[in-house]
Amino acid sequence: MSSSRPPCIRLASASPRRRDLLAAIDVSVEVRPVALDETPLPGEVPEEYVTRLAREKAAAGYEPGGMPTLGADTAVVRDGEILGKPVDAGHAADMLRRLAGRSHEVMTAVAVHGPAGLLVRCVTSRVTLRAIDEAEIAAYWRTGEPADKAGGYAIQGRGAVFVTHLEGSHSAVVGLPLCETADLLSRQGVPLWNHPVS
C-alpha cells in the first residue's frame, strides 16, 4: 500500500497486526490509540467484554464530522475464562499449559463509529492446540513473541506450529475479522475497491 495515500479511517489501536490486516485490504489508516481500563466488569461474559471494549475504543477515538474510527478487541477464552496477555514467563507458561492439547475460543469484536452511527460485530473462532512440552514452552517464551499476545501465543507467528485446527476466521484470531470489518466500513461509506494495487 502506498505510504503517500491519505488515511481513510482512524484506527483506535496501536496493534501492528490490525494495521497490517487493514493494509491487506487496502484501507489506509491514521493510528490514534486510545487508553482505556480493560478490566472486565463484574459478571461480564467474554463476548460482552470484547464488544464493550471495541465500542468504547471506537467511540473514544471518533470526532464528529471526522473520519470513521475503528476499535477492536480480542480475547482468548478457555471454559468461559478470559486469558489476557502474560505478565511474565511463568504466567505465559501457565496459559500455554492450560491451552495445550485441547480447544479454546478466540473472540474478536470490531466496532466502527462514523456517519452511520456506532456499528459493531463480534466473531468467535475455535482453535485447537497440540500437546506442548515444557522445553517448547520455555523456548517459545525466549523468542519474545508471546509477551504481548492474548493467551500467550500468536497464530500468525511461531505459535502457528502449535495449532492443529482452526474453525472460524483466521484474521479474527490474529486480531481483526476482515469479512465483518469490510462490511462495517462499507456501511460507513469507506470505499474498499477503488484503489489500484501498488
Residues annotated catalytic, as ranges: 73
Question: What's the CA gap between 56 and 102, in Å, rounded?
Answer: 32
Long-range contacts of 139-142 (CB under 8 A, 24+ apart): 140/96, 141/89, 141/92, 141/93
Among all chains, which residue has been given the C-alpha cell 517464551?
141
CB contact at 8 A, 128 and 103 = yes
What length is written for the chain?
Answer: 198
Provide the 10 A C-beta neighbour count for residue 13.
25
Give the gyration radius of the chain's Cα atoms: 17
